[in-house]
Structure 1
Amino acid sequence: MTRTLPGPTDHVVVVGAGLAGLAAALHLLGAGRRVTVVEREELPGGRAGRLDLAGYRMDTGPTVLTMPELADEAFAAVGESLRERVDLLPLHPAYRACFADGSTLDVHTGADAMAAEVERFAGPAEAAGYRRLRDWLQRLYRAQMRRFIDANFDSPLNLLNADLARLAALGGFGRLDARIGRFLSDERLRRVFSFQALYAGVPPARALAAYAVIAYMDTVAGVYFPRGGMHALPRAMAEAATGAGAELYFGQRVTRLERSGERVTAVVTDTARIPCDAVVLTPDLPVVYRLLGRRPRRPLRLRHSPSAVVLHVGTNRTWPHLAHHTISFGAAWHSTFDELTRAGALMSDPSLLITRPTATDPGLAPPGRHLHYVLAPCPNTDIGPDTATWSDLGPRYRDTLLRELERRGLHGLEAAIEAQCLVTPADWHALGHAAGTPFSAAHTFLQTGPFRPRNLVHGTRNAVLAGCGTTPGVGVPTVLLSGKLAAARVTGLPLRRRTRTRPPAAPAHGGRTGAPAPTGCPVPPRTPAARTSEGGTG
C-alpha cells in the first residue's frame, strides 16, 4: 500500500484547472469527495489553453494527443465518456517526417501500413526491423505502465518488483539511440523513433531506452485530435466536473495557503477564503513551493528540459505537402542536442514540428484560411538566453524561422500571414514555468520515478502535487495520470470506473462555475505583477 493523506479529506480544493487538476477533480468526485477548483486564468486548460485571434482559434499548448483512454478514465470516474463529450479524430498519418535530403516518410500507427511505408522508404530489411521494433515497444510499454508510470512511489524500494527485471531484460536501462539502432540501420528512421526523448529533456544518445515508451504512444497507440482543437479536452473535462457537482472558479489568483500546524486549512484568493480538508496543487514547482513556504531538500539542483519557441500563424493559404503534424528534420542531429542541452545555443540547423490543425478541422479558421503552428526547441533560460534577451531575440528568431521554412518549401509563408502570436521562453517564464520551459524538469535518471519531485509534501500532511513537475512527468498522458495519482493519495482507493448520481452544481464564494467562453490570450508577456501570480497551469 502506498501512503495516503491522514485525517479528513471530505472537501478538496484543487489549485489549477489544467489537465492535471481537472483529472484529479474528476477522480476525486468519483470517489465521493466535494471538490472546488480554483484557476487564475479566465478559462480551463492551463498549458492547454486557447487564443481567439482575428477569427482563428489557436491552441496555445500541446498539439499531440495520445493515449486518450487515460482521459476517458477521468470521465468514467463520474459516469461519463470521453467520446460522448469530445469528437475525437484519429490522425492518418500520425506524422509526416521530412528530411534534409528531400525524402519523406508517413508515420502510420497500423503495423502493416507502417511496414509497407518503411519498405518503400528504406527497403525490406528495414521493414522487418520495424516489425521487431514495434514488438519491442509493445513489450516495453507493458513492462512500464502499471508499476512505473501509472504508480505512486514512496521510496526507490518500490522499484524492486518483477516488472523491473522485465524492463532490464528488455534493455530499458541502456541508451535509447543504441537500442533503436539494434532494429533500424537507416539513420533517418532512427530519428523518427527517438526524437521524442527531447521533449523529456534528454538527448536520445543519453536517454534511457525505457523512454522509447513515448515512441510507443506516438507510433503504435495512435495520435488523435479533438474537433475544436486540443482545448476541447480540458473544456469538456471542466464541464463534466461541473455536472458532477464541482465548484469551478476562474480568474481567481491564489495568494496564500492558511495553515494550522502541518495542515492546510484554507486556500485564499484575491477575493475569497475557501476552507478545505485537503489541497491538490498543480502549478509549476516554483509557484507550489512559494505557496507552501518551503522547498524540498535535494542533493542536486533540478535540471530542466529545453524550452521552445512557438510561432502560431493564421494564413490565407497552405502547403499541400504538410500533414496535420509534420516533422521537418535538419541535416544536423547530434550537434543539435548539444546546442540545446549543453551549449545553450539556438539550433544552427533546426528540426521543427509544424502542426496544421485545419487539415483535420477547417472550422478552426475563417473560411478559406489555415492555421499553422511552428515549434522550435530552444535552450531553457538556465543555460541559454535569459528572459530579458528574448525581448529582442524573439522577433529576430521569428524572422529566421520564417526564412528557414521558406527554404524548406513553404514558399510565400511570410506574405500569407494574417494573424500571428509568438511565444518565447520569456513568455513561459511569465506564466510561472521554471527556467522558461513548459516541459518542466528533465527526465534524467535521477529525476524519474521515485527520484522525481514527489507528489507528497514533507511538512504538510494534507497537500498533494500534480502536473508535469511531479510524477509521472511531462506530456499529456502522464499529466492526466498525475491527476489520477494525486487523487489516489487523497482517497486511498483504487480509482476505477464507477457510476454516479449527478448532484446539482452549487456556486459559492462569488465565483464562476463551468467553462466560460475563452477570452484573451493565455500566453502574452505578463506585467511584473502578473508574473508573481499563483494559480493553475498544470
Structure 2
Amino acid sequence: MKKIIVIGGGLGGLAAAVTLAHAGFHVRLFEKNRHLGGKLMPVHLGSYSFDFGPNTITMPQVFKGIIEQTGERAEDYFDLIPLQSHTRNHFPDGATLDFSSDAAEMEKEIARFSSRDAANYSAFLKEVARLYGMSERYFFPATFQSWKDYVSPSLGLALLRARPAETLHHFFSRYFSDKRLIQSLDRYATYIGSSPFKAPATFSMIAHLELAQGVYYTKGGNVRIAEAFAAVAQKHGAILHTETEVQKILIENGQATGVVLADGRTFEADLVILNGDLLSAYPKLVEERFRSSFTDDKIRRFEPSISAFVITAGLSTRLPGLKHHNVFFSGDYQQEFDDLFSKQRYSEEPTVYISNSSYTDSDAAPEGDNLFILVNAPALASDGSLQIKPELYKERIYDFLQTYGLDIRSHVVEERVFTPVFLKDKFNAYRGSLYGPSSHRKADAFLRPANASTDIENLFFIGGSTHPGGGSPIVTMGGQNLARQIISKHKT
C-alpha cells in the first residue's frame, strides 16, 4: 500500500489521516505544534480553559462521520451538546436579539423588532435551505484537481443559481427591514473572513446551518473533536508526529517524493498532502521554480481575509446577561468593514464577539466566566507590522464593553492577548489572516485554489485556503473528500 505523508495536523489533515489509515494506507503526519487540531487549540490559564479556534460548531454529522466511517461510535469519543438558544446579539440602543434554532422562537424574537420581518422569516429559511442544498450537492463533495473540474455544465448552472452577483447584505435586506436584525445576519460574512457588503449572497447558507440545523458545543471543549480524530487515526495505524516541522517538500522529475524535516531527517512518500495555509505554506516548502502556476507574484495578488485580535479572560465571577455566544455590535457596521479592508486598519469602535463556554460547561471555568473575546482585525501589513499596541487596543475593547454595562476589568483573574502576529507565527497564516484569501472576488469565493498541484504530480492541498473553503466542518469535509479520491485511484 502506498505511503502518504500529511503535512499539518489541522482538522482537514486529521480527517484525511483517519480516512486513509482506515483504508490501509501507510500514513505519517507531521505537525510543527505540540497540539493537533490547528486553530482548534486548547488554551489553559490557571483553572480556566478556552478553545482558541472555532467556538461555534455546526454540521455535527461531519465530525461524527469521520469516526463512524471506521465502524466506531462517535459518542465514545466526544459528546456534542445542542444549544437551542445559542447567540445573544446586543445593540447600541440597548436592545437584544436571541438567535435560536427553533423557528417558532425566532419568529417571536423577530416580531419584537418587526412583525413584517417575522412574517418573512419562513420564506427566508426556505431560500437559505435551497442555497445550502445546492452547496451540499455540487460544491462540498467535489475535489477540484485541475481546471477541467471547474467547467462541468452542472457546476456552471449551480453557480448561476447560487446568487453570485448579489451581496450578502443585499440578500438579507430583501427579506428584512430592521437594521439590527440585518446587522446580526451580516455577521455571518466574518465566518469566511469577509465583508457582508462584498461577499456573495451564496454564503447566507451559513444562516441555515445555525438557525435550522443548529449550533453545538463539545463537552469538555471543542478541542475534544481534534483529540478524537487523532486517537482514531492512531488506532488505525497512522503515525502522528507533533513538534516536528517540515522544512521542504522533495520534488523529483515533477513529482512529490517525500519531505525533509527541520532537523534534517528525510521521509519518502508516494503522495504528499499539504494541510495548511496555501498562500504561506506552499511557497515556504516548495521552491518557486517547481510551481510555475502558483508563483510568488500570484500569491501577492490575493486579498487576505480578516484576522483576529483575541483576549482570553478568566473572571472571578459569572456576569449576568451573557449566554454561550454573545455579540456586541458597533454603531456603524459598514464603516467597520471599510476600516478592515479598504483602509486596512483597526476599527475605532469594533464589534465584539464573546464565547462564554462556562455558560454551558461549568467545568471549563469552576470559579467564574471564561471569556474568549474576539474582534475582527485587518491582516498584517505587507511588511508584517501590527499597526496597533496590543495593550492599548485591549483597553479600548474593555471600554467599549463597559458602554454595554459589561465590566471585565474588575473581575479579571487570568488574561492573555493574541494578535495576528501570533496567528502568522503559530499557524503559518498568510499575513496573519484566518481563512487565506477573502471571498470578495467571485473567483476566490467559488473557485478557491484546487486540491492538487497543477505543476507537481502527487502533491495535494487541503485546508481553509483551498476548496471547499474555511470553517471547521468544511475543512473536515475537504480532508475526507480528498482522502476518498486518493483511495478510489490508488487502493489496490
Report the TM-score range of the alignment, normalised by the length of the smaller protein.
over 0.9
**Matches of 1:223 and 1:189 in 2, distance apart?**
19
The residue that corresponds to 1:369 in the other structure is 368
Equivalent residue runs for 1:317-466 within 5 Å: 317-365=317-365, 367-382=366-381, 387-389=384-386, 393-411=389-407, 413-431=408-426, 432-444=428-440, 445-450=442-447, 452-466=448-462
Q: TM-score, normalized by length of structure 2? A: 0.92
User: Per-residue deviation at 1:147?
Assistant: 0.8
| Contact 2:31/2:243 (<8 A) preserved | yes
CA spacing shift, 1:321–1:253, aligned 2, 3 Å: same
Structure 1 position 301, deviation (Å): 1.0
What is the CA RMSD across the aligned residues, in angstroms? 2.2
Change (3 A) 1:70 1:207: same
Residues 1:254 and 2:246 are matched in the alignment:
yes
User: For 1:314-345, what per-residue CA distance to the aligned partner results, in whole angstroms no more than 9, with x for missing partners?
Assistant: 11012121110001111111111101110112
- How many residues are matched? 480
Distance 1:59 1:196, change over 3 A: same
1:421 alignment partner, SS class: strand
1:162: Cα distance to partner? 4.1
By relative contact order (CA 8 Å, sep 6+), the higher-ranking structure is: 1
Alignment counterpart, residue 277 of structure 1, candidates 264, 267, 270? 270
Select 2:281's aligned residue among 287, 309, 316: 287
Cα deviation, residue 266, structure 1 = 2.3
2:234 to 208, 227, 242: 242
Letter matched to residue 52 of structure 2: T
Give the distance between the partners of 1:456 and 1:487, measured in 2 at CA.
12
Instruction: Give the deviation of 1:493 after TM superposition.
Output: 6.2
Report the CA distance shift for 1:156/1:352 in structure 2 as closer, same or farther (over 3 A). farther
Instruction: Determine if contact 1:448/1:472 at 8 Å carries over to the other structure.
Output: no
Distance of 1:288 and 1:107 partners within structure 2: 39
Aligned to 2:120: 129
* Residues 341, 379 of structure 1: 8 Å contact kept: yes
- For the 8 Å contact 1:354–1:375, the answer to whether it is kept is yes
Q: Deviations 1:472-531 (Å, cap 9, x if unpaired)?
A: 111112111221232134223699xxxxxxxxxxxxxxxxxxxxxxxxxxxxxxxxxxxx
Shift in alpha-carbon separation, 1:105–1:152, aligned structure 2, 3 A: same
> Counterparts of 2:287 and 2:155 in 1: how far apart (Å)?
38
Question: Which residue of the partner structure matches residue 312 of structure 1?
Answer: 312
Relative distance call for 1:270 and 1:324 in structure 2 (3 A) is same
Letter of the structure 2 residue corresponding to residue 309 of structure 1 = F
The amino acid that maps onto 2:349 is D
| Deviation per residue, 1:408-467 (Å, 9 max, x gap) | 1112x11211111101111112222111122221113121333x2222112221111111
Q: C-alpha displacement at 1:169, in angstroms?
A: 4.4
CA contact (8 A) 2:349 2:400 kept: no
**Equivalent residue for 1:222?**
214
Q: Aligned pair 1:181/2:173, yes or no?
A: yes
Number of the residue aligned with 2:42: 50
SS in 2 for 1:358: helix
Give me the whole-angstrom Cα distance separating, in 2, the residues matched to 1:487 and 1:253. 22
The one-letter code of the counterpart of 2:375 is A
Moved over 6 A (4+): none
The DSSP-based 3-state class of the residue aligned with 2:389 is helix
Distance 2:151 2:361 in 1: 43
Tell which deviates more after alignment, 424-433 or 128-137.
Answer: 424-433
User: SS at 2:85's partner residue?
Assistant: coil
Q: Does the 8 Å CA contact 1:443/1:473 hold for their aligned counterparts?
A: no
Q: Specify the code of the residue in structure 2 equivalent to 1:149.
A: F
Unaligned runs of 5+ in 2: none
489, 492, 495: which one aligns with 2:488: 492
